[in-house]
A = this chain, B = another copy of it.
Amino acid sequence: MARPRSFDPDEVLDLARDVFWLKGFQGTSLDDITAATGLTKPSLYAAFGDKNALFLKVLDRYHAYIVGKAERIINDGPSAREAIRRWLTGFVPRCSGVKGSRGCLSVNTSVDGVTEQEVRKRIQAFNRKLEQLLRDRLRADRAQFADDFDPDAVAHTIMAIYQGLMVLAKDAPEAARVRATFDQAMKLLS
C-alpha cells in the first residue's frame, strides 16, 4: 500500500482530549494539540479533519467510555440502590481534588459557549442516556422503594448532583465532602 501512520489514532485522541479538557474547546489552539501529541497539523487534518471534527471525535470517545462504564455498573449491581451507590462512588476522585480538578469534559463543554449544533446534540444525547440508565434501573426495582417514590424525579436529581459536583470539582474539594454529598443523594432512594 503506502506509508503507514506513525501513531495510534486512539492514543492521539486521548492526548487531545486532555488538552481540551484542561483548556476548553475555545481555549485550545491547534498548536496546543500538536505540542501535546507530537503530530504536525497536516497529519492531524488528514487523520481527523478540522478542529471541530477532531473535537467531536474526542467527545464521542469520552462519552462512549463514561456511558459504557455506567451501563455495566448500573445494570449489573445487585439492587438499584447498591448499583447507583457504586456508580456514584466511582466519581469521588474526579469530583474531589484527588485526580486533578478538570471536572467532566462534557459538563465543561456544555457551558463553554460553543454554538456548534453537533456538540450540543451529543451532550444532550449523553445526558439523556445516563439519566435513562438511572431511571430504568430505579423503575425496575421500584418495589423496593416507598409508595410515593418518583423514579423520574430522582433520576433527574441524581443527574443534577452529578453535574453539580463536576462543576464544584474545579474548587478541588475534599473527598469527604463529595462522599457526604453522595450520601445525601442516596437518601432520596428510599
Contact = CB atoms under 8 A, between A and B. Distances in A.
A114 B153 CA distance: 33
B113 A22 contact: yes
Contacts of A171: 123-124, 127
Given A22-B113, A27-B112, A108-B113, A184 B157 contact: yes
A89 interface: no
A46 interface: no
Q: Oligomeric state, in number of copies?
A: 2
A52 to B, nearest CB: 14
Given A26-B27, A113-B22, A187-B188, A164 B159 contact: yes
A97 interface: no
A187 B157 CA distance: 11
9 contacts: A24-B24, A110-B170, A111-B112, A153-B184, A159-B168, A160-B168, A160-B181, A163-B164, A187-B187
Given A24-B112, A111-B111, A157-B185, 17 more contacts: A23-B113, A26-B112, A27-B113, A28-B113, A108-B112, A108-B113, A111-B167, A124-B171, A154-B184, A157-B181, A160-B161, A160-B181, A161-B161, A163-B164, A164-B164, A166-B167, A188-B188
